[in-house]
C-alpha cells in the first residue's frame, strides 16, 4: 500500500468514526505512524485530506451502486430493491453513522471543496436512479429524484434514529414509486 493510501485510509476511518473536526492532524499522524512532513507532502492541508477522503468514498460508493445496476440478470425493479438492501446491510452495523457526505458538509461546510464533492456525489446517486428508471423505460427525472430522496432520507433517518429498518421502509416506498411510475408509463404507451 502506498503511503498516501495508508494516510488516507487512516484519516478516513477516523473522520467517519469520530468526525472531521474532532480529528486533528496530529492524531492522524500518530494513528498512521508517519511524520507530519510526510502527511503534508501528500496532502497540503486538512482540507485537501478531507477532500481526498470524500473523493475516495464517492468512487467506492458509486462502484458499489454500479455493480448492482450493471448486473444484467437483474431487472430494474430488482436493482432498486438490491440498492436499498445493500444500504440496509451497511446501516445494520454499529459503526454506521449515516452519510459521510452529509456529515462532512455539516462539520466542514465552510470548505467549497468539500461542498462541491458532496454535491457531485448526491447528483451521481440521483443519476444512478435515473439510469435504472431509463432501463425500465420510465425516463422521468422526477421519479429518479423521488428514489434519490428516499435513499438520502433513509441514510439520515438511520443516523438519527439508529434503526436500520428505516432503509427497508425506504426500499418499500421506492418500489411503490417504481411500480406506480412504470404502470403510468405502460398505460401511456399502450
Residue 189's pLDDT is: 58
Superfamily of domain 59-189 in the CATH hierarchy = Tetracycline Repressor, domain 2 (1.10.357.10)
- 106 close to 118: Cβ distance less than 8 angstroms: no
Over its length of 190 residues, how does the chain's per-residue pLDDT go in tens digits?
A: 899 999 999 999 999 999 999 999 999 999 999 999 999 999 999 999 999 999 999 999 999 999 999 988 999 999 999 999 999 999 999 999 999 999 999 998 899 999 999 999 999 999 999 999 999 998 778 999 999 999 999 999 999 999 999 999 999 999 999 999 998 755 555 5
Domain ranges of the chain: 1-44, 59-189
Dist. CA 98–CA 103, nearest whole Å: 8
* Best CA proximity match to 128, nearest among 69, 177, 174: 69
Q: Which three cell numbers stand for residue 48?
A: 485537501
What is the Cα–Cα distance from 87 to 60, expressed in whole angstroms?
Answer: 13
Looking at residue 186, its pLDDT comes to 56
Contact 39, 29 (CB under 8 A): yes
Task: Please say whether the structural domain 1-44 has been given the CATH code 3.30.420.40.
Answer: no
Evaluate whether 1-44 and 59-189 have a shared fold.
Answer: no
Burial profile 92-110: b = 16 or more Cβ within 10 angstroms, e = fewer = eeeebbbbbbbbbbebbee
Segment (H or E) for 181: helix 165-189
Report the pLDDT value the prediction gives residue 109, as an integer from 0 to 100: 87
pLDDT value at residue 134: 93
What pLDDT was estimated at residue 185?
Answer: 59
Q: What is the pLDDT of residue 140?
A: 77
Amino acid at each position: 500500500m502506498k503511503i498516501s493510501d495508508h494516510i488516507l485510509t487512516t484519516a478516513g476511518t477516523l473522520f467517519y468514526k469520530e468526525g472531521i473536526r474532532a480529528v486533528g492532524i496530529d492524531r492522524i499522524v500518530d494513528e498512521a505512524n508517519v511524520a507530519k512532513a510526510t502527511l503534508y507532502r501528500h496532502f497540503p492541508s486538512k482540507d485537501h485530506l478531507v477532500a481526498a477522503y470524500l473523493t475516495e468514498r464517492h468512487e467506492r460508493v458509486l462502484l458499489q451502486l454500479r455493480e448492482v445496476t450493471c448486473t444484467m440478470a437483474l431487472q430494474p425493479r430488482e436493482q432498486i430493491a438490491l440498492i436499498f438492501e445493500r444500504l440496509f446491510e451497511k446501516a445494520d452495523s454499529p459503526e454506521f453513522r449515516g452519510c459521510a457526505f452529509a456529515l462532512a458538509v455539516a462539520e466542514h461546510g465552510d470548505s467549497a471543496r468539500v461542498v462541491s464533492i458532496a454535491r457531485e456525489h448526491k447528483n451521481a446517486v440521483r443519476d444512478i436512479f435515473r439510469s435504472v428508471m431509463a432501463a425500465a423505460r420510465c425516463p422521468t427525472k422526477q421519479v429518479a429524484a423521488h428514489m434519490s430522496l428516499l435513499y438520502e432520507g433513509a441514510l439520515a433517518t438511520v443516523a438519527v434514529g439508529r434503526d436500520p429498518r428505516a432503509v427497508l421502509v425506504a426500499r418499500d416506498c421506492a418500489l411503490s414509486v417504481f411500480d406506480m411510475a412504470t404502470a403510468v408509463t405502460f398505460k401511456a404507451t399502450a
